[in-house]
Each structure stands twice: as structure tokens, then as C-alpha cells.
Structure 1
Amino acid sequence: MTDSGGEWSQVKRKGRKLRNVSKSLADENVPSDSLQPNPKPEYSIDDISKYHDNVSKKFKESSCWDQLQKLLDSARSSHHIPCVTRAVCLGTGPYDPADGSSQARRTAHMQTAAFCAIIDKIRTETKQEIKCFIQEPRFTQTDKEFCTTLGLEAVDSPGGFGLVDNNTLLFAIHLELEICNLAMRNTLPAIFIGTGLDEWLRVVDNTKERSGPLHRFFKLEGNYHKLTFPDLDYIFSSTSIYLREDGQLAQNASGSTSIAGDEKHEDGNHEENNETNTKVESFK
């Protein structure tokens, strides 16, 4: 499929439905039907809330949450949980999908439930105030208002990317590489939850270049404590948790005191957004 603003490709992943993935960073600002809110939303806030309560209950009763709590408890006892004052959730999908997909609806709610549960656990155990944001281009106004009831501030894209700082928990399940790189462009977060380096090495071209599109993930892999996120019906498949050890400075993507965007690499050259020309695989 092609768009007037650039080339688009369709990819498929382990039973996931096809999704259009932009090959150009500039294309993020090009309107796409797949990234527009449902023009005829069906559900009220009450409808969404009731459905979410049910999904959230199932998540908290799942072996996924049981295992995840144990992992976080172990990490905390080993001093691997860094200070978090902000949390940013990206790309859950809409709560009222335009195509009426029950799977997409459930996935969006399950990811949101997991995000909220993790933040609540960290808040409770650290007594730290954590401001939460969520960004999804396909949210309807009703979706955004529902997020408010969960204590989440819905922000319009690309506003969420600029909110990530070195005290942020970044939650980005099954998102494209270019989106992850945008979110970590200024700095690596305190905690990153999303596709890990091992999985990207399987699906991205030209991955031997550590200064290339995966350079932020090489930094995460080399400097953070890594855990495997327990799966639940493929909703969290191939997902890793990267935890910065607070004995370190909040190390940025360049490994220096400047931040992850257009930093210089060891050869003295500036990064040229290699990720924009990279073959990526969507997981949704």
C-alpha cells in the first residue's frame, strides 16, 4: 500500500492482523485512516468503564500479574527499581475500535490495565507520586475522558514523546521501532517496557551497526537490568522490562551527558535517523 506522503508496507506477526507501517519518519504527520479515531463511536464512558473493570479484574487474577509482581518484588529487593516520577503509556489502541474488533478492544484494555497495575504497585511500595500520561492517536474524545477516570492524562500525538525523561517509566508494547526511538530520542527512561533488543535483532535489517537504528536498545541491554515480561494470550509476547539501576546516572542513549537524539557517535558523525530507513515489523 502506498500513500501520497511516502511508502507504506504491510507486515504480519504470529497471528496478528495486518497493520500499515510507515517507512519514513516524516510520514508520522501524514493522515492515515488507520490512525484516525472512530468517526462513529459506539460506547459511552459507562460502557467503557464496565468493560475495563472486567478486563482489569481478569488481569489481576491472571498468572501473568502474579508472575509480574514476583519479578518486580525481586527486582526491588535487589535494588533494581529506579526512582520513577512519571509514566508514559504509548499506543495501546482505542477502546472503541472503528472496525469493531473485539480482540483489539480487549488488547487495548488489557495493556491499559497492566500499565495501571504496575504504576499502582510502584506507587504503593515507593510512596512516590507518579504522574501518568497516555498517548493513542485513535482515541475518541470519550476514550480520553475515560482515561481521566483512571488517573491518566491523555495527550495528543506526538506530545507524549517529549514527556519521557530519565525518571519516566515508558510503556510501549508492540510498537514500531521508529516510535520507540522517537520516545527515547531525548533520553533513556528509568524503566522501559516493550520489545527488547533480542527481538529487534531478529526482525530489523542492518543490526550489526551499534550506531544504527538499534543503538538505544544496545544501551538499554548493556546498562540496564533486564526481565522478561510474562505473556498473556500473546498480548505481551516478546516484551522485556529494562530497569535502570539507580547507582548509575540516568544514562542517556549516547552513553554521555548529552541526550539520545542527534548525538555524536564514536566516529564523530551525527546520527542520521537511520531508523527511518529500517525495515520494521509491527506486532499489533
Structure 2
Amino acid sequence: MADDDEGWTRVRPSKWANRLRSADRDAANLPNPGTKPTSVNPAIVAQLQKELESIQGDLDAWFPQGELRGIFSAYVAACSQSGQGPVSQIVCFGIGCFDHPDGNWQAKRTSYCQLAALLLVAEELARTQGRDPFKIIFQEPAFNLNDIAFIKSLGHIVVDTPEGTDYINSDTLFYGPHLYYQLYAEALQGELPVIYVGSGIECWELNTHFLPRDFPVTIAPLKKIFSEYQRFKFPEAKNGLVFHGTYICLRPPTAQREAA
């Protein structure tokens, strides 16, 4: 994802053409991120931990966490009659790097905010389902060794691309705000997740002349989610665009029981 001065690609019609180019062309236009470290720097990992703790410690000041918790706790309650919790694993694609190559704080803050919200969701789902904490599976090619060590220090798992798709099935929560449509197509090529958190289809359908001919086929699973799942707008961070255009899509409890 290309970063602007706010930390991510703004959803503005004048910029969608660039956003919707192929992954190869986008990669060719990105600035050189420099050489990735060849070993873990414990001081950097400790700093990343400290920065996340700062974001989490000020959560109430910038994010409506009660609203987000309420969406997921209500969903678990609605699914409780099935005799089991609706989510058994969580997979996250494309959250961005934390040991940012050029020290871009706005880009890092967006990644931290998205991570803090994801950890809150995981905590709420574990609490309401009465289960052990989730070990979230992260797939992010931009991670360097410090990023990986940081995520692992939080008790989670990092996998290489495209291994993350192997973990997405009918009882997975998929989390991927602001991805290219190709990544959504990749994530949704098998069983559809019980919960989808990511962009809607309307942003690409406005610019179909920039899309490949197979777009209707590749995006069909996402269309199915948006036509059949319960849908909520993801609560937005105050004075920000961290979750602009992001939705929470929940498979209806009746469909959940049929899938089980």
C-alpha cells in the first residue's frame, strides 16, 4: 500500500487509478525501502513494543472501543445456541510494517492503530467465547526481522506469502483493511471466513476500466459476502482515516450453524 502524509492511501476518486494498477506496476513505483536488516535488533523490538503500548494506553482517547466490542459480543451471543463459538482462528493480511524503512510515523501509527483494534477484537472474541487467547496469524511481505520479532513477542505467528491463505476457512476471522483487490481475491479463493473485515466492493466498481477482464470472477466471493452477511461499518478512529471504507461482515448465525 502506498503511504501518503496520513499514513495510507486516501480514498479519493482522483487517486483510485493509481491504487488499482497491478501489484507489479505499483511495486515498481514505490520508493526503495532500503536493505532489510539481516538480524534482529532487540532495542528496536523493545521500541516497537513501547510504541504499541502507548497507542493502547490512550485507546479511549482516539477510538470508540465500546462500539467495536459491542458488535462482536452481540454476534457471539447470537451464535451461542450453536453450542460453540463462531471463530476458531484469526488471520491478518497486509497490516503494514512497524520498523518502517524511512521512519514514517504516520504510516507506523496507522499500522499500530489497526493492530490495536485487531487485538481488541481478538480479546473480545476470546472473552465472550470463553476460550484461550488467540494466536493471530499475520501475513505481511513488508515485515523485516524486527517486525517479525515484535509480532512474535506479542504471542502471535508470522507466515510467508501465500501461506496465510491455508489458514482461512469457514470459522476464520479475516482481517485486512485497505488491501489491493487481488489480495482479497487470494484470501477468499477457498472457504469464506465466518467474519470478514476489510474494504467493500464499491471502491473498485467505480473504476472498472482500470481492472482486468477476470475481475468479476476474482471478486465474486467478496460480492457474495456483501450480499449475504450482516454488515457494519468499522468504527473510525477520531480525527483520522485509519478505517475509512472498512466493513465488518458477519455470516448470519443460521448460516453459521449450517456451515458447522
- Residue equivalent to 1:266: none
Is this contact kept in 1: 2:69–2:120, CA < 8 A? no
Please state how far the C-alpha of 1:227 moved relative to its aligned partner.
Answer: 0.9
Residue of 214, 217, 224 corresponding to 1:219: 224
Is this contact kept in 2: 1:37–1:139, CA < 8 A? no
Q: Percent identity?
A: 24
Matches of 1:69 and 1:249, distance apart in 2: 20
Partner of 2:174: helix, strand, or coil?
strand
Partner of 1:44: helix, strand, or coil?
helix
Letter of the structure 1 residue corresponding to residue 11 of structure 2: R
Q: Which structure 2 segments of 5+ residues have no match?
A: 1-8
Please state how far the C-alpha of 1:84 moved relative to its aligned partner.
Answer: 0.9
Is this contact kept in 1: 2:198–2:246, CA < 8 A? yes
- Residue equivalent to 1:244: 251
1:113 matches 2:116: yes
- Residue equivalent to 1:234: 241
Is this contact kept in 1: 2:16–2:207, CA < 8 A? no
Please state how far the C-alpha of 1:89 moved relative to its aligned partner.
Answer: 0.8
- Cα 1:19/1:199, change in 2 over 3 Å: closer
Is this contact kept in 1: 2:236–2:243, CA < 8 A? yes
TM-score of the aligned structures, taking structure 1 as reference length: 0.71
Please state how far the C-alpha of 1:222 moved relative to its aligned partner.
Answer: 2.0
- Cα 1:180/1:146, change in 2 over 3 Å: same
Please state how far the C-alpha of 1:113 moved relative to its aligned partner.
Answer: 1.1
Is this contact kept in 1: 2:140–2:161, CA < 8 A? yes
Residue of 192, 196, 199 corresponding to 1:188: 192
Please state how far the C-alpha of 1:108 moved relative to its aligned partner.
Answer: 1.1
Is this contact kept in 2: 1:171–1:192, CA < 8 A? yes
Matches of 2:31 and 2:160, distance apart in 1: 12
Letter of the structure 1 residue corresponding to residue 249 of structure 2: Y
Residue of 25, 31, 35 corresponding to 1:39: 35
Letter of the structure 2 residue corresponding to residue 46 of structure 1: A
Deviation sequence 1:43-100 (CA, Å, 0-9, x none): 6111111011001222354343222122223334444996111111111111011122
Partner of 2:255: helix, strand, or coil?
coil
Q: Which structure 1 segments of 5+ residues have no match?
A: 1-10, 253-284
Partner of 1:151: helix, strand, or coil?
coil
Is this contact kept in 1: 2:169–2:192, CA < 8 A? yes
RMSD: 3.6
Partner of 1:230: helix, strand, or coil?
coil
Matches of 1:185 and 1:220, distance apart in 2: 12
Letter of the structure 2 residue corresponding to residue 184 of structure 1: L
TM-score of the aligned structures, taking structure 2 as reference length: 0.77
Is this contact kept in 1: 2:73–2:124, CA < 8 A? no
Deviation sequence 1:7-49 (CA, Å, 0-9, x none): xxxx863499999768457x49x98685987526686111111
Residue of 112, 125, 129 corresponding to 1:126: 129
- Cα 1:121/1:140, change in 2 over 3 Å: same
